[in-house]
Amino acid sequence: MNFKSTRQEAVKRLNHFIDKEILNYNTKRNFDFGVHDRKNVSCLSPYVAHRLITEYEIIKEVLKKHPFQKVDKYIQEIFWRIYWKGWLELRPQVWSDFVDDIKGFEEDEVYKKAVLGQTEIQCFNDWVKELKEYNYLHNHTRMWFASIWIFTLNLPWQKGAEFFMKYLFDGDAASNTLSWRWVAGLQTKGKHYIAQAWNITKFTNNRYKNVKLNENALSKIDNRDYKIKALSIKNDNTISDTLVLFENDLNIESLNLKNYNQIFCFILSNEKRKIKIDEKVLAYKNTLIKDQAKRYEKIKIIDEKLFEEICNSTKKFDIIYPSVGENLSFLNNLRKKYSLSFNFLTRNGDEFCWQFSNKGFFNFKSNIPIILQKLNLSF
């Protein structure tokens, strides 16, 4: 399984999936047939996580060729990413607390064996190796992995989420953090996900049998209560002739770049990150940026040190909104340090969709027809 670092590859994968495989998605999506047989899922998440291709673009292309009723599960899975992002935007303290929590856990022998793939659970060990080698796991496998980590190995969910963020090409502050919380039973209080041996056997096509798991664990408890915070993203037409974008939102196809004299794009080094990522993941992100820069000559690739130097003289920036996570935290620190003014440019549709993330996904899902109509995504 190879993830080429170009938008061209993302579009090619999407078109192939729409034309050849998507109608089998509803019935086959939960099967993990192994790294060499992924045709039952689209494998677009590494591109979507960096918005080399956007969620809305995918939905529109899918519904051009197929009626919603035949592809509803796939459309819902794409909307999950938007929902998670909106949920975290409305409760940004969850991210801050997650990052702070990580510092307080000791990496004991159980943890060390887990991250080395040296537990007594063979399927788990194989998934650790697969994650490190391919930087990707099937979504159903991620759920099993997280459940085993939390309820059988009895490790903190925060350290598991950190481990995924380190190695996944599609690591995303919202989807990753909140999915781990969901498995633990913290997103919907008391409703957790327990991996079961029969389920793993069935959906790995009998590759793993008689897996010894704790199937009777209770939900984890966290008494912190997160109130919804109103969205307050400054989003004017423009305040600057300098545009800044980060590696987690690289889609510039839909932007009018004529008004910008300078376009800076960069990826935070591990020195500036709260959660360190693997060198292979950093390299993947850098290759994505280079591909975009090849196609748009105005883009200049810089690092955070050069950007800080620029902030000594330039005080106003238009910025493609990076959402709650590492990049936004970095910007907020710079804003205070250099007295900067940021105009965040959000994607068409994001803020409209995020308003429906105030409750659970069932509420969001009930509003999908409204979203499709409002954003002209259905045909």
Span 276-326, pLDDT tens digits = 999 999 999 999 999 989 888 889 999 999 999 999 999 999 999 999 999
The pLDDT assigned to 78 comes to 97
The CATH 1.10.579.10 portion of the chain extends over 104-203
Beta-strand ranges (E) seen in 60-104 are none
The rounded distance, in Å, linking the Cα atoms of 359 and 18 is 31
The pLDDT assigned to 236 comes to 67
* Percent residues over pLDDT 90 in the chain: 87
pTM: 0.96
The CATH 3.40.50.620 portion of the chain extends over 242-345
pLDDT bin (cut points 50, 70, 90) of residue 348 is: confident
- Segment 81-87 shows an average pLDDT of 97
The pLDDT assigned to 234 comes to 67
- pLDDT, one tens digit per residue, over 187-243 is 988 899 999 999 999 999 999 999 999 999 999 999 999 999 988 776 667 778 999
Both tokens of residue 252?
A: 């510039």
Superfamily covering domain 242-345: HUPs (3.40.50.620)
- Considering the domain delimited by 104-203, tell me its CATH architecture: Orthogonal Bundle (1.10)
- Segment 371-375 shows an average pLDDT of 96
Please give the CATH topology (third level) of the domain spanning 1-91+348-379. 1.25.40
pLDDT bin (cut points 50, 70, 90) of residue 257 is: confident
Three-class SS state of 156: coil
Q: Is 348 exposed, middle or buried (0-12, 13-18, 19+ CB in 10 A)?
A: exposed
Closest CA to 229 of 90, 353, 71: 90
Q: At what angle do helices 68-90 and 173-184 cross, to 10 degrees?
A: 90
Residue 247 pLDDT greater than 90, yes or no: yes
Query: For residue 8, what are the contacts with CB-CB under 8 A and spacing of at least 6?
Result: none
**33-47, 99-113, 145-159, 231-245, range with the lowest pLDDT:** 231-245
